Amino acid sequence: EVQLVESGGGLVQPGRSLRLSCTASGFTFGDYGMTWFRQAPGKGLEWVGFIRSKAYGATTEYAASVKGRFTISRDDSKSVVYLQMYSLKVEDTAVYYCGNNYGYNRADSWGQGTLVTVSS
Amino acid sequence: DIQMTQSPSSLSASVGDRVTFTCRASQSITNYLNWYQQKPGKAPKLLIYAASSLRSGVPSRFSGSASGTDFTFTITSLQPEDFATYYCQQGYSTPYTFGQGTKLEIK
C-alpha cells in the first residue's frame, strides 16, 4: 500500500524559512517524480511544483507564485522529498500535500497534508 | 499558463441522481486531464486520469470523457459518500493547473 506522510509544518513568521518533508513507502520511490500541492484555508487546490526522478535528471518545475523562494529536492536513499521554503509570506499559509507523479502527471496517491501558518 | 474552468461551481442533487460536471481548458491539453475528489478536512483522491481512465479501486459509477478542450465528469446513481468537492487538473504543461472545483451538495 502506498503511503505518503508529510511533516514539518507549523507556525512561522513572515520572511522566515521552513522545510517540509514527505516520506514515502509502498512503491519504488526512485522511479517516480514527486509533486507538492497546497490549499489555502477555504480555497481550491494549487500545484506548487515537482521534481522528476533521477532518470530524468531530478529536475524541478515551480509555480510562478513560489519560484525563486521554494526549492524541491529528494533523497532516494531515504524515500523522502523535501520542500524548502524561504522568504515566507502570509499568503503561503496553507495545507501542503505531497503526491506521487504518475503518467499523465497525475497524483495517484496523496499524503494527509501538513499545515503551514505564516503569521507574525 | 493553461486556465481550467469548471462548471458549475456548486450543484445540489439527491441520492440516486445522475450528475455531470464540466471542465474546459483554455488550450489543447489532448487527454492530459485528471479528476480528483476531496471531502472536508481530507486529502484529495484521484478518481479519473487521462480524461477517461478509472483509477484502480474507484467505483464504476464514476466516468470521464473528452471532446476537444471540453471534459465531462459523470457520476451515475449518486451515493451518500459522493457528496464532496471535485477538481479537474491538467497535466499537459507546467504549471499543472486545477479548476476552481465543483461542490456537490445534498438536495
Residue B43 to residue A112, Cβ atoms within 8 A = yes
**pLDDT tens-digit profile of B19-70?**
999 999 999 999 999 999 999 999 999 999 999 999 999 999 999 999 999 9
Q: Average pLDDT in the A8-15 region?
A: 98
Cell of B81: 459518500
Q: Residue A62: list chain B partners with CB under 8 A.
A: 95
Beta strands in chain B (DSSP E): 4-7, 10-13, 19-25, 33-38, 45-49, 53-54, 62-67, 70-75, 85-90, 102-106
- Alpha-carbon gap, residue B2 to A10, rounded angstroms: 32
**pLDDT tens-digit profile of A47-106?**
999 999 999 999 999 999 999 999 999 999 999 999 999 999 999 999 999 999 999 999
Residue A97 to residue B44, Cβ atoms within 8 A = yes
B77 Ramachandran zone, left/alpha/beta (phi>0; psi -120 to 50): left
Q: Average pLDDT in the B77-88 region?
A: 96
Interface residue ranges in chain B relative to chain A, Cβ cutoff 8 Å: 1, 31-34, 36, 38, 43-46, 49-50, 55, 87, 89, 91-92, 94-101
Q: pLDDT-derived band of residue B74, with 50, 70 and 90 as boundaries?
A: very high
- Alpha-carbon gap, residue B24 to B33, rounded angstroms: 10
CB distance A102 to A52 below 8 Å: no
